[in-house]
Chain A
Amino acid sequence: MKIEMRKLFAFGLILALLAAAPWLLGPFPLGILMKILIWGLFAMSFDLIFGYTGLLSLGHSVYFGLGAYGAALMILHGQPGIAAPLATGLLLGAAVAALIGLLAVRTGSHGFIIVTAVTSLLFYLLAQSRRDLTGGDDGLTLSPLPLKLAGWSAGCADPGPAYLLVLGVVGISFLLLYILVRTPLGLALRCVRENEPRAQALGYDTIRLKWLAFALSGGGAAMAGALYALTNCHISTGLFHWLVSADALIWTLFGGTGTLIGPLLGTGVFFALREGLSGVWQTGYPILVGLALLLMARFFPRGLLGLVSELGRFSRRWVR
C-alpha cells in the first residue's frame, strides 16, 4: 500500500478548511455542512458494497436507522453522553448487518438487491410496531448534545461544537475506509465486483469477502446514523424506509461510484441543490431526480468524477 504525498496534502488541506468552517459560516449553512458530512459517510459506506464490491443494496437505511435508534435509545434509557451512544449505534448496526449479510450474500447478485430491499421493509414495519420504543412516524425528540467548548454550546438549530465532533468522526472514518480499499482486501473486493467466478478460481472465498464488505459497510452506515441521532434532535421510523437507501444510491451515482470522494461530492451537490431550489423542490424534486438519474445511467455512468476526469483529459489534449 502506498499513500501519495500529494493526496495526503490535499486531504489535510480540505480537513483544515472544514475545521475552520464554524468561524467562517453562520449556524444555518454550518448545519447543512454537518448534514452533508453525516449523509456523506452514509453514502461512502454504501459505496463500499456498491461501487467496490458490485452489490446493489437497497437495505442500507436499516443500518442507518439502527445506528440512529441505537444511539437515541442509549441516550434516553441508558447512558447519555457521546461515546456510549455512538458505540451502541455502531455495534447494533454492524451486528445486524453481519447477521443479515449471512443470508443476503448467498442469494446471488439479483437476490441481494431483493433481500436487502425486503430487510428495509421488515425493519420499517418492526419499528412501526414498537411505537412505544421508536415513536413511530412521529419519532423521538432528543435534547441537543451536552457539548460545551469554551462557552460555545450545541443547540437544535445551531450545531456549534457538535459540528467538530461530526467532522472528527467522519474524517477518521474516511481515513479508515481509504486505507481499507487500498489493502489487499480492497483489491480482492474489486476482483469480486469485476468477475466473481474468476475470483473464486484464483482462490478467493468470494462469499466471505462479500459478507465482510457488507458487515463493514453496514457498520459505516450505522456510524452515520448514530451521528445523525446525536446531532439532529429528532429521529423517526422513516429513516428505515428503503427510499433512504435509494438516496445513498442516487448521491453515489452522481458523485462517482467506486470511489470515496464521489459519494461525498454527490451528497454535497445534492444538499446544495436542495437548498438552492427549495421552491421547485417541494413538488418536483423526485421527478427532477428521476430524470437526472435516467440521464446519468444513460450517458455518465461514472458520475461527476468521471465527467471531471473526461474533461481533464479533453482539456489537456487541447492545451498541448
Chain B
Amino acid sequence: MMSEILRARGLVKRFDSVRAVDGVDLALFSGEIRALIGPNGAGKTTLISLLAGQLRPDAGSIAFASQDVTRWPAHRRAQLGLARTFQIAALFPSLTVREHLEAALQASPSHRPPETSEVLKLCHLKDKQDARAGELSHGDQRLLELAMALVQHPKLLLLDEPAAGLSSTESEMLIQLLSGLRGPAVLIVEHDMQVVFRLAERITVMHRGRILAEGSPPEIERDPQVQEVYLGGS
C-alpha cells in the first residue's frame, strides 16, 4: 500500500463572485505521477497555487506529509518538501544557472548530498551554468525551473504546464526526464495529451472548479462526461 503524501478536502477559492475552485477533494500518494487536466479556466492553476501556498483557500483543508498545512505560508510548505514550477517561467533573471541551483539547494532542508552537477546534466544545462537566466531560451528556462525543483529532493512536485511552448524535441527530453524520476510524487498540469498519456499513471479531470472524473488513462479516455467536456464544447 502506498502512503498518502497529500490530502486536500473541500477546497474552495473564490475570486470576487467566481468560484475558481469549488469543493475539491484530492489525494496524492508517494511516488505516483498524476496528471491534472481540464479545459481552460477549469481552476487547475488556482488549485496548484492553493496546494503550494501562494493562495489561501476560502474553505477546506490541506494535509501534506501528515501535517495540516492549510494556514501555512508557501515557504514553510516548501521547507517541508513541496516544490512547484510556474506556468510562466518564474526565475531570477540576472542570476546565473548555477546560482539558481545553489539558491534552491540552500533553501531546502534536504540532507542528501548535493547533486547539482547530476541535475544539470539531467536537464541538459551543464554547458550553460554560467549563463544568466534572463538570457536563456524559453525551453532552457522551463528546464531550469524543473532543475531547481529537482535539486531540492521534494516529497511532492507540482508542475504547472511544464511542456508549454517547448519544441517537440524539448518536450521529448522533458518526458524522458520526468518518467525517469524516482522518489517524489508528481502532480502535473498539462494540455498536451501526448505528454499526459505517456507519463501519468492516473488522471484527474477538472471542470469549472470541480473534480469531474479520476481514473487510469484508458478509463478517462472512455469516460462520457470527460468526452462531453472536451468534445461537446462547453
Contacts and interface: CB of A to CB of B under 8 A. Distances in A.
B86 interface: yes
A201 interface: yes
Interface string B106-118: 1111000000000
A195 interface: yes
Contacts of B86: 198, 201
B103, B104, B109: which has the most chain A beta carbons within 10 Å? B103
A203 B91 contact: no
Interface residues of B, number: 27
Nearest to A193: B92
Contact of B75 (A184, A187, A195, A205): A205
Contacts of A195: 90-93
Nearest to B133: A194
B25 interface: no
A94 interface: no
A199 B103 CA distance: 9
B74 interface: yes
Interface in A168-203: 184, 187-188, 190-191, 194-195, 197-203
Given A201-B52, A202-B107, A202-B152, A194 B78 contact: no
Contacts of A206: 75
B130 to A, nearest CB: 14
Contacts of A191: 92, 95, 103
A188 B84 contact: no
A271 interface: no
Contacts, number: 72
Contacts of A203: 75, 78-79, 107-109, 152
Contacts of B94: 190, 194
B90 A197 contact: yes
A188 B103 contact: yes
Nearest to A192: B92
Contacts of B225: none
Contacts of B76: 205
Nearest to A190: B95
Contact of A204 (B75, B83, B95, B109): B75
A199 B107 CA distance: 9
A201 B92 contact: no
Nearest to A198: B90
A190 B92 contact: yes
Given A201-B52, A202-B148, A184 B74 contact: no
Contact of A202 (B73, B99, B103): B103
B203 to A, nearest CB: 25
B54 interface: yes
A238 B111 CA distance: 52
B102 interface: yes
Contacts of B73: 200, 205
A202 B103 CA distance: 8
Interface string B17-38: 0000000000000000000000
A201 B95 contact: no
Contact of A194 (B79, B92, B104, B108): B92
Interface in B63-93: 73-76, 78-79, 83-84, 86, 90-93
Nearest to B108: A203
Contacts of B84: 201
Nearest to B77: A203
A22 B152 CA distance: 53
Contacts of B90: 195, 197-198, 201
Contacts of B95: 187, 190-191, 194
A22 B224 CA distance: 88
B78 A187 contact: no
A111 B148 CA distance: 31
Which 9 pairs across A and B sit closest by C-beta, in order of nearness? Answer: A203-B78, A194-B92, A203-B107, A202-B107, A198-B90, A200-B74, A203-B79, A184-B106, A200-B75
Interface of B: 52, 54, 73-76, 78-79, 83-84, 86, 90-95, 99, 102-104, 106-109, 148, 152
Interface of A: 184, 187-188, 190-191, 194-195, 197-206
29 contacts: A187-B103, A188-B103, A188-B106, A188-B107, A190-B92, A190-B94, A190-B99, A194-B91, A194-B92, A195-B93, A197-B54, A199-B92, A199-B107, A200-B78, A201-B52, A201-B54, A201-B78, A201-B86, A202-B78, A202-B83, A202-B103, A202-B148, A203-B75, A203-B78, A203-B79, A203-B107, A205-B73, A205-B75, A206-B75
